[in-house]
Structure 1
């Protein structure tokens, strides 16, 4: 399904609402504007399978461009707006975009525009850019006549690049009309989370990320309304839930933590009882954080473990999470989970190894765009249909999956494995710590040692010995060998807006030890 179906039935219904300005884009407007942009793509010679890139802040045009791609058979890459011009330009060129849409309101937009001067078609959003055609002029000049057949396109998003260059994930393209209701992702979200015409979905996260973009797409496929925050603010998020009677939302654990740290009287002043599904993913959620959210919002907290690659999926409900604290759920939705050792051997319950998904029958394993070597690295050594994104974990006797950490983050100190996520979880709710990252650093005696980087809360006096206070706080909460050997206080951790730590950017020279 697509917006045209709902535009015919409910033309004035809000498809999108901007939470800050309360601007509304109706289904009739979304239908016409996405159709005109899709027709423009066709008029300049784009064919199914060609690539389009967009770099913008959270705004209506991202969703219009998404649906223009979906109804023209093209592949759209939404680029992280927080990247440097060089980093963003790398993705625009790596995806071989024939069209780039760029917001003139972004910092360093002019520099990025210059780096994209060789892209065939360049369109500016929300402000002029040299060498770019204005978006509104482009729509006005395009046809509003709906073609007899609109082939369905898809997104081709990039991994977060937390351990290196981002990688484009090439979706499987099928010959399918955009109004064909048999879209596996939409069907899955509808089945599991109950999206329908009455759904009001809140996106507090950037729309360039896979989950928010795909949940907005699902909301529109089902005829609901998506409310978009320009950026996350903990109290504002609660106000938006109350204002629009939000039924569905998607979060990352750092957002939960920020909301939980609001004063109790602030939390109690907002009505969040409309929420039916508060979905979270992107990073492991500390069990204590999840328990407190369930106590506050009720059993509406749902977690899934997946990836931009859509390699596989596990799900867990509030009730299961309380019974299995720390688990990210069970498989059976998009393939079977296997935990394997260094040689590819499958490990028994309780043993930690590399997490693979056996791709479900009828699905094709993902590919990294233009990178056969990285694609090969993601495959199991003996099973071509078992794929991994590098996470480690274990399965218990009931097949609940628990994540340990990425293989690249594992710390081996004196021959003992330390998983940074466990230490980070222990510190997540420390009242004076806003954020924390734990990494391994070389040590002559032990090979590696665990080192913690602390981002303090605003109220913490710089003269306080926070490092030693936190070290003492961990005593009794973690085994002695897991407590970091060194602590650094740092002004701001390199975390993406989707909640993932970019640990390779941590620099000890910027820290106050």
Structure 2
């Protein structure tokens, strides 16, 4: 017998086995109005009502529903109320500017747009056939409790979500993830990190980001509890760890730094010692930071490497029995690696040093971009664009082959930033690179050649970018050059531009 793997499996089990348990504790300060404590039975009722509401609007199977929202119980419920009933959820980064969101809504063909109240004014000009600002009023329109939803057939090969990611092009690409992709990724995350019904999971990770790395699904299916955190703050994370008995959280290295900074001024023992495990991805932090997590917080540090295109898990690094007798520093040296392949994943490093992946979590393709799909999945391998090495079964990421900067866990296409700077009348040439930063991993630096006779300073060029791009995509520094190095064919030699900033480091990513 074979039955399709779909995201509804997780919520169906939670309702059946843990129906009376509080499944979600919503952020109390939601501008849309907090849902408070929500049982799994109520989450399932809300998901069905949302699906029925979409039926009432005439939104058919396969249609896309875009949502731009901070972490919330409403967003998490949509993972099931939209995808679980045959439609496609498009979670959008709430930090993007109106032009960027408009492109995603148009390119995905989303017929429904759901907006967090905090972004509603900024995105007022983004069109969609059905447009709602999330809140009590829209709840009455979106959730139809008086009718049963249509159970559209859902195959595991159907697209469940389209997640947009910055890559080697100026425009983000829509990553088509199937129900099978998401089901297996979530199950792998739960397996490798030992999730159970005793877990209390704090959503420090944005739910829009690769669907919260799959944790919203597996924690639900296993009956754990979700604590929704709307905005990341180190002291607030510690407070919620103490208040709710949090056992599990995820985040980029910048989140680790925030927590460590808050712990320095925390009144009393740091909460969660010998109880909390924290999964980090985006870029490995320095070994000294890993040591501090173990020593100062008493939390277990774990690491994954992945991409939106891989749902996202590719590798897992967690301390193992053989390392128990090692010192904290020795363990940190091992944990700083990207990790070993997750179960069912095969990794190969090709002759050019690029990391290639085969796995059931690899994307089905890019939305309406067949050429880029073929390029990424050529020769039956997914080409990550990252450079690395494999030693004793563990992957270390050493370089980034594709033109992407990862700052604070967010991907930024350097080409997109360059295109923006080229729109400035004073700019003749520009190269955008990532440079090391202790807090954010990398920050964005623009190397600029001005037009003859033109004048512009660093502040003006940064402001120019901030007016047109999401704030995190804008350069944090600008250097002016007379020329930029190019090959004889005119290709920009970014590796030469990067070298001085990464000198003395083993890796050219941070």
TM-score greater than 0.5 by the shorter chain: yes
CA drift of 1:145 comes to 6.2
Which residue of the partner structure matches residue 136 of structure 1? 140
CA drift of 1:226 comes to 0.6
TM-score by length of 1: 0.71
Aligned length: 418
> Hey, what's the Cα distance between the residues in 2 that align with 1:167 and 1:138?
28
Conserved 8 A contact 1:169-1:368: yes
> Hey, what's the Cα distance between the residues in 1 that align with 2:404 and 2:176?
26
Which residue of the partner structure matches residue 370 of structure 1? 368
Conserved 8 A contact 1:202-1:248: yes
Structural mapping, 1:122-271, within 5 Å = 122-126=131-135, 134-140=138-144, 142-144=146-148, 147=151, 154-160=160-166, 164-172=170-178, 183-210=183-210, 212=212, 214-262=214-262, 264-266=264-266, 269-271=269-271
SS in 1 for 2:279: strand
Conserved 8 A contact 1:58-1:206: yes
Conserved 8 A contact 1:234-1:258: yes
Which residue of the partner structure matches residue 426 of structure 2? none
CA drift of 1:116 comes to 1.3
CA drift of 1:16 comes to 1.0
Which residue of the partner structure matches residue 448 of structure 1? none
> Hey, what's the Cα distance between the residues in 1 that align with 2:39 and 2:150?
18
2:50 corresponds to which of 30, 37, 45: 37
TM-score by length of 2: 0.71
Conserved 8 A contact 1:3-1:223: no
> Hey, what's the Cα distance between the residues in 1 that align with 2:214 and 2:109?
22
Conserved 8 A contact 2:248-2:277: yes
Which residue of the partner structure matches residue 68 of structure 1? 81
Deviates more, 1:4-13 or 1:65-74: 4-13
RMSD: 3.8
Conserved 8 A contact 1:168-1:368: yes
* 1:392 matches 2:387: yes
Conserved 8 A contact 1:310-1:366: no
Which residue of the partner structure matches residue 6 of structure 2? none
* 1:93 matches 2:106: yes
Which residue of the partner structure matches residue 317 of structure 1? 318
Q: CA 1:139–1:436 in 2, change beyond 3 Å: closer, same or farther? A: closer
CA drift of 1:71 comes to 2.0
CA drift of 1:44 comes to 4.1
CA drift of 1:233 comes to 0.6
> Hey, what's the Cα distance between the residues in 2 that align with 1:273 and 1:255?
17
SS in 1 for 2:102: helix
* Relative contact order, higher structure (CA 8 A, sep 6+): 2
Residue by residue, what CA displacement relative to the aligned partner does 1:203-261 show, whole Å, maximum 9, x if unpaired? 11322111526211221122211101110110110111111111211111001112222
CA drift of 1:101 comes to 1.7
Which residue of the partner structure matches residue 411 of structure 2? none
> Hey, what's the Cα distance between the residues in 2 that align with 1:249 and 1:40?
32
Q: CA 1:162–1:39 in 2, change beyond 3 Å: closer, same or farther? A: same
SS in 2 for 1:7: helix
> Hey, what's the Cα distance between the residues in 1 that align with 2:226 and 2:11?
13
Structural mapping, 1:466-485, within 5 Å = none
Conserved 8 A contact 2:444-2:476: no
> Hey, what's the Cα distance between the residues in 2 that align with 1:370 and 1:277?
39
Residue by residue, what CA displacement relative to the aligned partner does 1:6-29 show, whole Å, maximum 9, x if unpaired? 334443321111344582122122
